[in-house]
A and B are shown apart, each in its own frame.
Chain A
């Protein structure tokens, strides 16, 4: 039952997404990529699409994968799945939130989760780095092709821009323009 599978997978993703954003990438890779719903390159493309369209990453991703796997009904199942954990937890917490915030247990759990999230983003750098720089795997052949050096140059330039607080959408657009220009010039 593909709809139930979509719902459950995204329920799990929603339940384990703390702080949102890129920290969830390793989780998405583990859950979605291994099921064959989304290949690594599409996932990274999708991060860019999500950065350039309104709305939270988790919801955009759920809708996209849901549509791909099961059409509109799949999209609804995945999106409801990813939202439901937040929704339920917040409804519970909204009632007891003073207790919740001052709870030693909650603070302790968060103290463990925060640094783990940093580690997860670092892991995302490695996996996305492989996809962006070595799409065919690391080999001598890949190192001999100009593509990797141009990717590295784009990455270096965009990192400088990102640290100068240039808006992500601008970074996506510039990367696309450079990619198109170089791609046609070299016939990659």
Chain B
């Protein structure tokens, strides 16, 4: 709870409520088998904290995605205790296999775990608002100045730099992908279809999802057959 006091809201109400929560937590030690399922206290203060915590995360994380994970972990596990270390691993696995930005998935998940649908809504809103405000403001700056020579030259250079960033991202993703012939084949086909044939990426994603699904069904059946023979 020492850390609790150091956070952004040093209001008296905050610390008092924090102490109450802690006291209650001591009265009900987590003796249950499933410690993951413990419910943090559902009061209005927690709702506000969910919003503010994710607002802070949204405001101070650049680039999104995995860059946000250590900060989310510090804010929600270490400072607030809303979720556990294990939950973070679960969330990452889920965020990777569901659509949308990892940060949005995480905010929604943590919010839901802590305070239900309303919590999910407020955590996500908090995460999104800083981006929204900053980009909305920057839009007008960009529109006003992008015809200036200095800005044009800057972005001319930047486009070459962005290309480098994307090449790096490609390399990172390629190395993360399990080294199997099938994977290289899917990647190659997706690349050719999108880059040279002009197929919409949506169809390529749907197609590859179906390929993966069919492959896993066949693999499962083959495995069962083998087990059956034994």
Contacts and interface: CB of A to CB of B under 8 A. Distances in A.
A89 B209 CA distance: 17
A154 B160 contact: yes
B101 A56 contact: yes
A109 B213 contact: yes
A169 B162 contact: no
Contacts of A2: none
B99 A79 contact: no
Interface of B: 58-65, 90, 93-94, 96-105, 108-109, 112-113, 117, 120-121, 124, 127-128, 130-132, 134-136, 138-139, 142-143, 146, 149-150, 152-171, 173-174, 177, 182-195, 200-202, 204-205, 207-217, 220
A91 B120 contact: yes
B161 A53 contact: no
Contact of A19 (B96, B142, B160): B96
B166 A86 contact: no
A90 B165 contact: no
Contact of A183 (B59, B112, B149): B149
Interface SS majority for chain B: helix
A119 B108 contact: no
A75 B195 CA distance: 29
Contacts of A184: 149-150, 153
B216 A155 contact: no
A41 B113 CA distance: 41
Interface SS majority for chain A: helix
Contact of B99 (A18, A100, A123, A178): A18
30 contacts: A16-B99, A19-B173, A20-B64, A22-B165, A22-B169, A44-B159, A45-B142, A48-B158, A54-B59, A58-B100, A67-B135, A68-B139, A87-B104, A89-B105, A90-B120, A91-B120, A93-B98, A110-B96, A115-B182, A116-B208, A116-B209, A118-B177, A119-B193, A119-B204, A120-B190, A120-B201, A123-B195, A169-B62, A175-B160, A179-B153
Nearest to A185: B153
A177 B151 CA distance: 10
A129 B163 contact: yes
B216 A108 contact: yes
A171 B165 contact: yes
A138 to B, nearest CB: 14
Contacts of B132: 55, 59, 63, 75, 79
B131 A16 contact: no
Contacts of A12: 202
